[in-house]
Structure 1
């Protein structure tokens, strides 16, 4: 959420003060409550905790007394509000049976295997947060939405599960440099583990890796899953996407798989308009070879502008752009990134700052 959106949100809450309260928290402890944890204690259902810029060392654990609660950074910039684990063995935020919304903060420094932000059995909305340098990033059980978040330098990024029929939505998120050590393909994905019906849309998966057999994105079970308009680039794993069940359903459409392992041969669902490079086939494991050349699936260089400088926009002649598809299919935009140059530049470096600046230039 940007500063303008945040201002509008605060104004809306202030004008409905009869029904809810905003608790201001700052690093000096001179706000409405001395800590975020204390503010949670004071909140009634429907209240908002507005967190000023600074660093907070806390573990906020609530396993009962469910309420509706919003925790958000005051400026709208998650880099300015850092919530670090006071006790690294515990999650930073853990809530059970809350209707929870968390936005515009960074969670970091948790070694808890269940995720730095862990929400169980609830409806959870997570937006515009950074999960950085944790054993696990965010774990949600129940129903939820995750939008415009960054998961970087964790063992794993995002896990969600549900026994219900409601879709999780993960939209315009970035998974960058997460490294999972010693997990098989049936355990966790370095970026995402999906154990629920879900839609993954407009996301970017860059330089995630598994130091063992495994996948970037793991679909664990026979769920209906849609993976759309996302870019997988320079990941180190056997599989970009791996399905543990042949009963999985949904659609894999309009994605780029570049130097990222193959998409696995999972359930009997449509696979269309994907651009893969280089040729990924492994007998009996990847998408069947006959998918390519049919339904808009092609093996072709996406022609990124400058992947060495972390610019994954595409050149004007890219097969990912509308009207450029090699087989003439009407696929529209393929992958997350739009056109950003005329001719690609073949160099390579690594920079979190450049990744962030290019990623947050939204696709028009």
Structure 2
């Protein structure tokens, strides 16, 4: 997605101390930074039919907000206004809810990387023998589309690449039970990972017996991994992770240091640890996922800024494990049959309690969880129970559901 920017970057520096002027003097009105305007191009294939624009807004000082806007047919460009300090995750959907384009950016950034040429689709294995070969040949804005099948390889993503499988049940990346990282997007920005099953990544030798927060990032073994820093400092890293299944891994998804992401509408099933944000110092949204029978912790957060909302967390040793200073919010999640719904370690302050902020303990009533069907059954308490701030709703126009099939990105199987 090529995003064009207009506006000024607000300063984060504190003003110097000055003496108060005499009472009879007139002080000028304080200047207000100009709002940032992101100009989002509508993909050509959607200009005739129209598109749906989903904007998730993350901010340290307030709850995550989401707006869903129908873009009229014939529109070539849509303006999104961003506020100071916001991180925007912008998704462009087709009229049937299919994901077409995406970017995740800070609103006050001063420039964006433009596409060097019209976007292409690189197909595996029709055009390239494996996924990494296609990624290596891709340019920012290109899509790598992987045919159904089981693949045994590791992939290092580049900025701006959209990695799409042909549906999670049918497109599988298998780790073979050994340690490793199936997909690594460290140092890559505006990445999309969608439509895969990631499975069978074994534990690293230094982390299998110790706590998940006792290891450095280079020792971790995870199906999807990102490290947002290098020896030279911070390395901008961002991704949208959606419509995937993480199954039978040591860690499903791991964000380390400044790796920024929106992780939404996924299934985390039978992993040791589902989602981990370790030594994490940036913003992430974990929303509308199902965490089912992950043997230790479903969600782990250490010194992180996470918004955790509209998830189902069930049958884990610990539902949400929080350590050290936390920002972000935990809202409108359903917990069920966890040995402990939450655990705090040196919390400053304690972050959540069942019965507050929409967090409930009850049976989610899936259609058939034991058979892998996590759709809400008739009468499920997940239906119309989501609580995004703003205008978020399901594609059908009703209030968003809790769980992997709720919200504007909820149309997938």
Q: Which runs of 5+ in 2 are unaligned?
A: 1-92, 103-114, 205-219, 229-236, 370-374, 388-401, 409-413
What does the per-residue CA deviation read over 1:84-128, in whole Å, with 9 as the maximum and x for residues that have no partner?
A: 125722221123201222011111111144211111111122111
Instruction: Tell me which residue corresponds to 1:172.
Output: 288
Instruction: Tell me which residue corresponds to 1:244.
Output: 345
CA distance in 2, matches of 1:3, 1:89: 40
Higher helix share: 1
Instruction: Tell me which residue corresponds to 2:326.
Output: 223
CA distance in 2, matches of 1:81, 1:107: 9
**1:137 corresponds to 2:252:** yes
Which runs of 4 or more aligned residues in structure 1 lie more than 6 Å from their structure 2 counterparts after TM superposition?
311-316
CA distance in 2, matches of 1:92, 1:308: 30
* Range with greater deviation from structure 2 (307-316 or 93-102): 307-316
CA distance in 2, matches of 1:321, 1:134: 29
**Contact 1:305 1:315 survives alignment (8 Å):** no
C-alpha RMSD of matched pairs (Å): 3.7
What does the per-residue CA deviation read over 1:305-360, in whole Å, with 9 as the maximum and x for residues that have no partner?
A: 868965976969x8x999xxxxxxxxx879xxxxxxxxxxxxxxxxxxxxxxx955
Looking at both structures, which has the greater relative contact order when contacts are Cα pairs under 8 Å and sequence separation is at least 6? 2
Residues 147 and 245 of structure 1: is their aligned pair in 2 closer, same or farther, counting only changes over 3 Å?
same
CA distance in 2, matches of 1:243, 1:86: 34
CA distance in 1, matches of 2:247, 2:260: 23
CA distance in 1, matches of 2:367, 2:140: 48
**1:199 corresponds to 2:199:** no
Q: Which of 135, 147, 150 matches 2:267?
A: 150
Residues 192 and 274 of structure 1: is their aligned pair in 2 closer, same or farther, counting only changes over 3 Å?
closer
CA distance in 1, matches of 2:366, 2:144: 40
Residues 87 and 21 of structure 1: is their aligned pair in 2 closer, same or farther, counting only changes over 3 Å?
farther
**Contact 1:116 1:137 survives alignment (8 Å):** yes
**Contact 1:59 1:87 survives alignment (8 Å):** no
3-state SS of paired residue (1:23): strand
CA distance in 1, matches of 2:224, 2:405: 26
The total of aligned residue pairs comes to 258
Q: Which of 117, 134, 140 matches 1:39?
A: 134
